[in-house]
Structure 1
């Protein structure tokens, strides 16, 4: 056994270094604003079983009780590579040709890093640590886009650092509790567009803010026996007050306002119920139902007493920015099947559907999506395994309407994205 561990060690050390390079790369940004992606295994099974599957250490990001299911010190590193295609097609434009509202590929490409650790303290207690990204969006409209004041270039991303503690209450019941420090970054640059026909690329507003807040998570894991288990987890909602310089410019580039302001980023609550069933030594199924509570997201607003009134955009004195969202709670259902082909290869596939928040806007154009996933685990030894997961996401076509000044806009949005995940898992087995 010691010989096997020695053989794995150089691979683990090299992989750890590579993971840290990815982790701190300036290219790293976050995932979709509606749901998180925490690992390559999750990509391979469309997120099914996330609160109940104890074969994936990264699931402690969903259910901290899973930490206590690992008998040996364990680590996992993952990187998700995302390519996103989002297209906008004009349907109605009160002041011109609807084709002027067409915009191809407003999405972006980015990398999502994550890392997970589990350390058994004794036979009952375990400590876990998870760092992962969630609830984010990046969109880039052309600077001359007619509805420039409600589109522009936007980047919202969050990153969580989540230590947790888990206890084995009985042989069948596990409990986990954690507290997350969640960091948020909000970047916004909008343009005058149709409100300045002579120079539509003229910047209207510019904001870049960062903030930090906290939330808690709690989870239960119930093992009926070695083949059947269920998980239930809850993660609280929070609002991150991002703080930074906010600038408003006139259509002739004169400075109208510039000062330090705050903009709230809403992060929803998450409730997940999952099941995992090993039907025979090779075949397993798993499923999840997740509920996202968006009760804390109804508008995006920036206020400051020195912000000048702007009747063209219905902004009174003291109101720098306001955008109505009116989000509603959403849900996601996922189902997956895994099959152990032989002693070293496990195959998996899954699908999920995600219900809309019914809050699509030009800035966040998609509400509903369906995921189709495949994945593979390679067991290099008892201690070391590698995962690859691939998910194709198809967004449902969404119709969006808005009014800016005297102009009304109506478009339909459609698109897809592809996510490729790589993951390393290692357990320190004596």
Structure 2
């Protein structure tokens, strides 16, 4: 869902046509929700609250707070409400695309083990970035994008060490498996020909990148804990043959064959992030939480393009004006009974683009999160939890123009929102 990455693209095409393969992020947001109990807090206190092994995703140092061996398994479902509506300035024919994110399932798994009073180890498998958009094939913006998905799964072994009773540190290398797929319509009505059905470009590939998570957890006093964590960037490089179908324009087909569309390269930089969190025990029942975060989206906005018209190669660069984003959240937990704990939170993420720079392949905006959840202790060795988050993106205007023809896709995504439902279980041994 506000946020992901620097894209450098090498595309092959002919003079009147630019074939673009681009990643899409519904809302352009990082996914804080991984089905864990913390999903009900809108990311508040993420780097300071260590209630289960999922803390290694936000702050590896938190593992030192967990006793014995613990296992957490979670699942979540993202339901979208993102629909485009054209306005009077729109120049393209076609429908309005439908709901571009109907649903997206996900899961996560975490385990921790206390080696001794000072050291702990853990492992996590999770996905905390990547969404997808899927427009109708014949929608008005089909020459910009029809369908696109970028999904990332991280595998993170983790080591944490308690330096003294107040200070812990943790580190975890992060191996990320990335999957990218895009489809975009190709206009056969170029080079003087007309009344031809669209063709299509399809591209998909996978890659593996390496990064790391590092963090520290400090106990200020008996009631207050401060957590700080940093997540490095991860470079993903996709390079595979682009598939072209139904290119019925003979001049266009000849030019594409000469241009060799197999040389499509897409480099993405998953943003580095930093977060500062606070957890404060107000009394025996209430815990107050907060977080401030930064995400390096400005690196994603710089796009290098090579357009090959006669195999000589002409380079140009496009800056989509992406900018860094900021996150703030507040939350609370209420221990209603010995078994039942209630979480609630509100969060805000700034937008990585200004309104005039918004595009159909990534209709991002600032977002508000409203979250709540419960945790129920079945017995000493088993907790069950579930949470719900509303991610409100609001109204997003768009006016995206083709650089060659000057035709514009114009309209808005009104009352845009994501609904994230998650739950899972934590076992303690």
TM-based fold match above 0.5: yes
Corresponding residue of 2:202: 206
Corresponding residue of 1:27: none
Shift of 1:325: 2.9
- Picking from 51, 55, 58, the partner of 2:54 is 58
DSSP-derived class of the 2:143 partner: helix
Q: Which structure has more RCO (C-alpha within 8 Å, separation ≥ 6)?
A: 2
Corresponding residue of 1:263: 266
Corresponding residue of 1:327: 322
Corresponding residue of 2:83: 87
* Distance in 1, Cα, partners of 2:362 & 2:394: 13
Is 1:133 the counterpart of 2:127? The answer is yes
* Distance in 1, Cα, partners of 2:359 & 2:209: 26
Shift of 1:394: 1.1
DSSP-derived class of the 2:39 partner: helix
Is 1:379 the counterpart of 2:377? The answer is yes
Shift of 1:284: 1.1
Contact 1:345 1:378 in 2 (8 A): yes
Q: Deviations over 1:366-423 (max 9, x none)?
A: 2211111110000011121010000111113222222223112222223111111111
- Cα RMSD of the aligned pairs, angstroms, is 2.6
Shift of 1:157: 1.1
Q: Deviations over 1:115-144 (max 9, x none)?
A: 111111222111111111022121011211
Corresponding residue of 1:409: 409
- Picking from 337, 340, 348, the partner of 1:345 is 340
Cα 1:140–1:200 change in 2 (3 A) is farther
Counting only pairs closer than 5 Å after superposition, residues 389-408 of structure 1 correspond to structure 2 as 389-404=387-402, 405-406=404-405, 407-408=407-408
Contact 2:35 2:421 in 1 (8 A): no
* Distance in 1, Cα, partners of 2:412 & 2:26: 22
DSSP-derived class of the 1:231 partner: strand
**Structure 1 residue ranges without an equivalent (≥5):** 1-29, 311-315
Contact 1:154 1:188 in 2 (8 A): yes
Is 1:44 the counterpart of 2:40? The answer is yes
Q: Deviations over 1:286-309 (max 9, x none)?
A: 111111012421245575xxx752
Corresponding residue of 1:313: none
Contact 1:271 1:290 in 2 (8 A): yes
DSSP-derived class of the 2:129 partner: strand
Corresponding residue of 1:4: none
* Distance in 2, Cα, partners of 1:241 & 1:260: 13
Contact 2:79 2:103 in 1 (8 A): yes
Shift of 1:240: 0.6
Q: Deviations over 1:173-192 (max 9, x none)?
A: 00011111111111011013
Is 1:283 the counterpart of 2:283? The answer is no
Q: Deviations over 1:18-42 (max 9, x none)?
A: xxxxxxxxxxxx9974212223322
Higher helix share: 1
* Distance in 2, Cα, partners of 1:190 & 1:147: 9
Shift of 1:54: 1.2
TM-score, length-scaled by structure 2 = 0.83
* Distance in 1, Cα, partners of 2:335 & 2:90: 58
* Distance in 1, Cα, partners of 2:284 & 2:349: 31
Q: Deviations over 1:286-337 (max 9, x none)?
A: 111111012421245575xxx7529xxxxx8547998753310001111111
